[in-house]
Amino acid sequence: MTFSTADERDTDRVLRSFANIRDLGGLPLVSGGTTLPGVLIRSDAPYADDDDPVGVPWPPSTVVDLRDPSERGALRLTWPAEVRLVNRQVSSGARIDRLADTALSDIYTAMLQTGGDRLTAALNAFDATGPTLVHCAAGKDRTGVIVAIAALLAGVDEAAVVADYRRTEENIAGVLARLKQRDRVPKGISLDAPILRTPREAIDLVIDALTGHRGGPWGWFEAHGGDVEHFEGWVARFAPRAG
């Protein structure tokens, strides 16, 4: 996909809230029915000067921050006391500021092959009683992998997993604008940089790794240290089976 001059100009606009936030309610389940709203929210990184988002439960009960400590730095957000903040670094290799020209398929393969226990540790932190917000810097790669795994464990249709991952394409100019405003990307990076794309083959790697595992997604989850009992409880809220 090629971006226009107007798209590039959008990366210089000032955004006062999230560019890439959405509630994962309404995803179709293989067994029938859909996922429930108000359980799982995905987003790009929140900042202290942001306005509250609209259309999602706010503030969330639990925030799962997938960034490494150096990314948070001086931009660390202080959440209200009632919010449980869980820092779970899943892959420094997915950082936009370091790997602008690296193929996502290589990044995702490394994440799955060497960081399965980190991925399940983040999933183990999902809130079984209130809304969970999961985010990284752009809300695309580390967040995209975590959300895809959660959705597959919940029985979301694979086509819907792909479609949700690719929705970030609609928001990428705003994502880049927010990162540029805070000097979180290399100077001169363009919207066509590989790290800013959402290619089908990248998310297919995640789907294939889980569905091709002995025992399917749940077999993969347990083999990498997932808390099956806890996550089954979370899934029961997110994806109650039809009938």
Residues 6+ apart with CB under 8 A from 95: 68, 71, 137
What mean pLDDT do residues 134-159 have? 97
Specify the number of domains making up the chain: 1
Question: Which pLDDT belongs to residue 98?
Answer: 73
What average pLDDT is seen over the chain? 91
pLDDT at residue 4 greater than cutoff 50: no
Flag whether 108 is in a domain.
Answer: yes
Query: Angle, nearest 10°, between helix axes 116-124 and 142-153?
Result: 70
Question: Which pLDDT belongs to residue 7?
Answer: 52
Flag whether 25 is in a domain.
Answer: yes
> Domain containing 163 — which CATH number?
3.90.190.10
Percentage, residues of the chain above pLDDT 70: 93
Flag whether 195 is in a domain.
Answer: yes
Flag whether 236 is in a domain.
Answer: no
Cα dist from 14 to 59, 181, 186, 192, 237, whole Å: 23, 8, 18, 20, 36
pLDDT at residue 19 greater than cutoff 80: yes
Q: How confident is the model at residue 71 (pLDDT cuts 50, 70, 90)?
A: confident
Flag whether 83 is in a domain.
Answer: yes
What mean pLDDT do residues 81-88 have? 97
What mean pLDDT do residues 18-42 have? 97
What mean pLDDT do residues 73-99 have? 84
Q: Which two tokens stand for residue 35?
A: 């996922």
Quick one: which of 160, 158, 149 has its CA closest to 218?
Answer: 149
Q: Which two tokens stand for residue 86?
A: 């869980």
Rg (CA), the chain: 17
Question: Which pLDDT belongs to residue 10?
Answer: 52
Q: How confident is the model at residue 241 (pLDDT cuts 50, 70, 90)?
A: confident
Quick one: which of 240, 34, 226 has its CA closest to 149?
Answer: 226
Quick one: which of 96, 133, 100, 94 has its CA closest to 115?
Answer: 94
Question: Which pLDDT belongs to residue 16?
Answer: 84
What mean pLDDT do residues 188-215 have? 94
Q: How confident is the model at residue 3 (pLDDT cuts 50, 70, 90)?
A: very low
Q: Which DSSP string corresponds to 48-71?
A: TTPPPPSSS-SS-SEEEE-S-HHH
What mean pLDDT do residues 25-35 have? 97
Per-residue pLDDT of 89-98, as tens digits, reads 998 777 777 7
Range of the domain at 120: 8-231
Within 10 A of 106 (CB to CB), how many other CB atoms are there? Answer: 14
What mean pLDDT do residues 120-134 have? 98
Side chain identity, residue 149 = I
Q: Which two tokens stand for residue 125?
A: 């932190």
Element at 43 (helix H, strand E): strand 40-43
The C-alpha angle 117, 119, 122, rounded to 5 degrees, equals 110
Flag whether 238 is in a domain.
Answer: no
Task: Report if pTM > 0.85.
Answer: yes
Flag whether 237 is in a domain.
Answer: no
Look up residue 86 and give its DSSP letter.
E
Q: How confident is the model at residue 103 (pLDDT cuts 50, 70, 90)?
A: confident
Flag whether 1 is in a domain.
Answer: no
